[in-house]
Amino acid sequence: MDMTFGLDTPSISMVRDKWGWFLALGILLLVFGIIAFANLFVATVASVFYIGMMMLIGGVAYLVHAFQVKGWEQILFWALSGVLYTIAGLLAFWNPALTAVVLTFLMAVALVVAGIFRLWVGFRMRPMKGSGWVIVGGVVTVLAGLIIAIGWPVNSLWILGLFLAIDLIMQGWALVAVALAARSGGVAPQVADKSL
């Protein structure tokens, strides 16, 4: 059974043929991640502006869609959603510091909730191998959320930038690893299907 998860031979050969582009993009993301680490406040503002732009685009799309639907209730729902998204997007540009405070609080809450859910799943999986890692992941996620919440709102000016910097560096390393593996012609060994 093919265990390449949808990567057929042409896809693998395409990556192998374009390994240099993957390497260049990976290095570029690493450089951006290091720059973001050097100034977490600027990275936070960039994150807020990115989110604000996405909310503005979403708000305009909702407003356009509102006039395409039939029925007064549906128009009202879509229009109200569009107005709220647009206001939130404009707020991100008008006051990025306030937006960073709100987003940091929401991130802390989301991490705590996600961590609690992971703990619940880990304890439900308890007899299975690997359930301990799910529990550890849940504990780390809850602790990350609590640490962010304890430092809130002071940490709001750098925490989003820190997450952006970490993400850029992780994505950069991943692309560099893929590029180097593709260059050497290495493909992960096929895993035998034990269920047959």
Instruction: Provide block-wise average pLDDT over 10 residues at a time, the chain (196 residues).
Output: 48 76 92 94 92 93 85 81 92 92 92 92 83 87 91 88 90 88 65 45
pLDDT tens digit sequence for 110-120:
999 999 998 99
Residue given tokens 């939130």 in the structure block: 88
Q: In sequence order, which residues have a C-beta less than 8 Å from that of residue 131 and are 6 or more positions away?
A: 122, 123, 125
Cβ 55 vs Cβ 89: under 8 Å? yes
Please tell me the predicted confidence (pLDDT) of residue 150: 92
Chain centroid offset of residue 23 CA: 21
Chain centroid offset of residue 58 CA: 18
Given its phi and psi angles, is residue 189 left (phi above 0), alpha (psi -120 to 50 degrees) or beta? beta
Q: How does 141-161 read in b/e, with b if 16+ C-beta sit within 10 Å?
A: bbebbeebbeeeeebbbbbbb
pLDDT tens digit sequence for 27-59:
999 999 999 999 999 999 999 999 999 999 999
